[in-house]
Amino acid sequence: MSALELILLSVSLAMDAFAVSVCKGLASPSVKVRHVLLCGCFFGGFQFLMPLAGYGLASIFRQSIERYDHWIAFALLTLIGINMIRESFDEEKEANASFSFVTMLGLAVATSIDALAAGVSLSMLSVQILPSVLCIGGITFVISCAGVMIGHLVGTRFSGNAERLGGAVLIVLGLKTLLTALF
């Protein structure tokens, strides 16, 4: 996986966290630096941990699925992308102003499930996992921090489009992985 592909993957995976961060910023009457950093740390931290967990799980079963790894990576990335696009059309996004530990934990887990599946795909591609998860977590941190501030200033006008773009990029990366392995 090239550096550009890793950056595209990282940005795509961060789009759910971005959309939630925008909603957090929109729902908050006043956004403080600690709110911005809290979103960045929760979302970036889980986007770091979940692909690491997915990579570890897939590594255990690697030998038994190696013949089909490109198909698995394609299917997972495509399904994640389709799901992100589908969710971007949901009109009922709840704007919750709470920054409590329980609220943030639930949101961080929910927005990083796709990163777990991406970790499985990364294992199939035999990438170096530590630089990959550092990139994914770091980019998500920055995008989430920006999302809170943007949400507070602008609102949720662009969050659905960001999720759609992220989903489309994941589908393209999955297709590229499949075509590269087949040809």
pTM for the predicted model, two decimal places: 0.74
The answer to whether 174 and 69 have CB atoms below 8 angstroms apart is no
Rounded Cα gap, residues 146 and 91, in angstroms: 22
Q: Token digits for 161?
A: 């489009």
Write out pLDDT tens, residues 64-120: 766 777 787 788 778 877 877 887 777 655 556 788 898 899 889 888 888 988 898
Is 122 strand, coil or helix?
helix
Considering its fold, how many domains does the chain have in total? Answer: 1
The answer to whether 21 and 149 have CB atoms below 8 angstroms apart is no
Write out pLDDT tens, residues 115-161: 988 898 888 887 899 999 999 999 999 999 999 999 888 755 555 67
CA–CA distances in Å: residue 56 to residues 1, 9, 14, 21, 87? 18, 19, 21, 28, 28
Q: Which CATH number characterizes residue 76's domain? A: 1.20.1250
CA 32 vs. chain centroid, Å, equals 24
Percentage of the chain with pLDDT > 70? 88
Cα(first)–Cα(last) distance of the chain, in Å? 16
Q: At 6, which helix (H) or strand (E)? A: helix 3-27
Which structural domain range is residue 174 located in?
3-182
